[in-house]
Structure 1
């Protein structure tokens, strides 16, 4: 447990340092507002899909397929729990906070944590969790922000880079498609920049937020505690109750890491897109990201000890 906890603490501290680099770079105008969007798209459309795709390039294995199915089922169960927590906490009020409780920042934070704490091969399973998360973001998440079912777009679900990568990658995995070394090597190299770029982008988002307003807003602390403590503890309880004979401990840790991450940046993006409270959305993403530097090692350290 101590070695796993040390790895987690070191990784979170490393991510904090990279986040600080992004913050300083934006504040000193080394990175401009327009560049942040370019870097974000580079992460979403190049680095992250390459990292995910690289994890699928392996011979077919029935155990891997079964574990992927377990990740999908557990993801649905955890998201249902998070939705229940959000509903109990807010009722029909404050949809932005509800979104923040339910949807975590798996792509930007979860993938790097899993990659460095458990290994490159486990990104395979995170991709499955992200696909489930993406489907619910563009359906239930959009409904929360807009209050209108007509805004739900299945096209956005099936054209999302993570979902497209999942379909293509699974085809390669199921049929054990051979991939030339120069392609797999390129995917590995491009995927390696995912963690650094993702943290720099988050640091830039943090620099764009008026934290002086957010830190005085009690709502932001409430949603952060629900996202970073309550939801992960309930997730941990669910995983602890599931027998290890049914779900291996390492797969449980993948799910726990996935849903212990801070509030997803999509809450800010969708708030801006649909005319909701963008500043509050960006603020809770930034505040929860900072607080997660403390909460993540604690939650995952407990998980490593009991799962």
Structure 2
């Protein structure tokens, strides 16, 4: 395991977040711009990143193996919401905050942090496999994730065709169609999707940094349950996942890949969606910040304990 790669990834992440923080303090970003950038990320850059991911690796691999990984991803994202609901109940989180807590437990930072870690631990090909494993993420985060954030917000959210078939979900379906049919697109279009999609990570992290700038530093220590959430998310969940998978599976790579994905810090989409749907952006930003900071130590620890 190359710990230096993981540490470098974390440093880059906090560097961009710091720029967002500074931009807010300098008056370049504010609460209004945070909301606008969040809408841009959710409706434009993320969908293009999802579709472009299909073209980032060779499509000539074993389709049956890809289907197995995809089905494992469905199973993973079917179990995580149940686990998150139980954990939140045990933590006695208030109804107003429970959706944010559940979302942070379910949805991890699988792209910016997850993919580099997959590459450093297992090689380039693991990045593609991880993207297949997390395809259900793209559907669930824009449906169940939006529901969790908005169910106690000022604006009542109701499911309908427009909400379910949002840009993120449509992009996920298009990506699956392209992969299984082998549809090709002109290089210029792929390059456009790649360039715009690559802005997702910096825009997301800049927005998180800017959102954190709106929170007094002392508030980082006023949410003790977020530290409990971090322990559950980063240590308990991947440990339980590894032990359970070891009982029912023999493929060590798949066990390790799923375990690492489960133990990643809370994803930036929690903040993005909170911004757009009037959720508790303050709580989400603090939670993402704390889990990401703690993951600098916990991800190498999990890898060392179970995969050495």
1:170 aligned onto 2:176: yes
SS in 2 for 1:88: helix
| Cα separation, 2, equivalents of 1:185 and 1:110 | 22
Shift of 1:108: 8.9
How many residues were matched structurally? 290
Tell me the TM-score normalised to structure 1 length.
0.81
What is residue 232 of structure 2 aligned with on the other side? 230
Gaps of at least 5 residues in structure 1 are 273-277
CA contact (8 A) 1:99 1:267 kept: no
- Equivalent of residue 186 in structure 1, options 192, 203, 206: 192
Runs (4+) off by over 6 Å: 105-108
| Cα separation, 2, equivalents of 1:132 and 1:17 | 29
CA distance 1:48–1:253, shift in 2 (3 Å): farther
Gaps of at least 5 residues in structure 2 are 120-126
| Cα separation, 1, equivalents of 2:194 and 2:273 | 30
| Cα separation, 1, equivalents of 2:46 and 2:106 | 11
CA contact (8 A) 2:138 2:172 kept: no
| Cα separation, 2, equivalents of 1:283 and 1:22 | 15
Shift of 1:256: 1.8
What is residue 22 of structure 2 aligned with on the other side? 24
| Cα separation, 2, equivalents of 1:158 and 1:239 | 29
CA distance 1:26–1:105, shift in 2 (3 Å): farther
SS in 2 for 1:179: coil
CA contact (8 A) 1:105 1:262 kept: no
What is residue 250 of structure 2 aligned with on the other side? 245
Shift of 1:183: 1.9
SS in 2 for 1:29: coil
CA contact (8 A) 1:102 1:227 kept: no
State how 1:121-270 maps to structure 2 within 5 Å: 121=128, 122-139=130-147, 142-143=150-151, 145=152, 151-155=157-161, 157-212=163-218, 214-215=219-220, 217=222, 220-222=223-225, 224-241=226-243, 242-243=245-246, 244-245=249-250, 248-249=254-255, 251-253=257-259, 255-257=261-263, 260-261=266-267, 264-265=270-271, 268-269=274-275
CA contact (8 A) 1:54 1:184 kept: yes
| Cα separation, 2, equivalents of 1:283 and 1:32 | 14
CA contact (8 A) 1:27 1:207 kept: yes
What is residue 100 of structure 1 aligned with on the other side? 100
Tell me the TM-score normalised to structure 2 length.
0.81
Q: What is the root-mean-square deviation of aligned Cα atoms in Å?
A: 3.1
What is residue 291 of structure 2 aligned with on the other side? 292
CA distance 1:123–1:106, shift in 2 (3 Å): farther
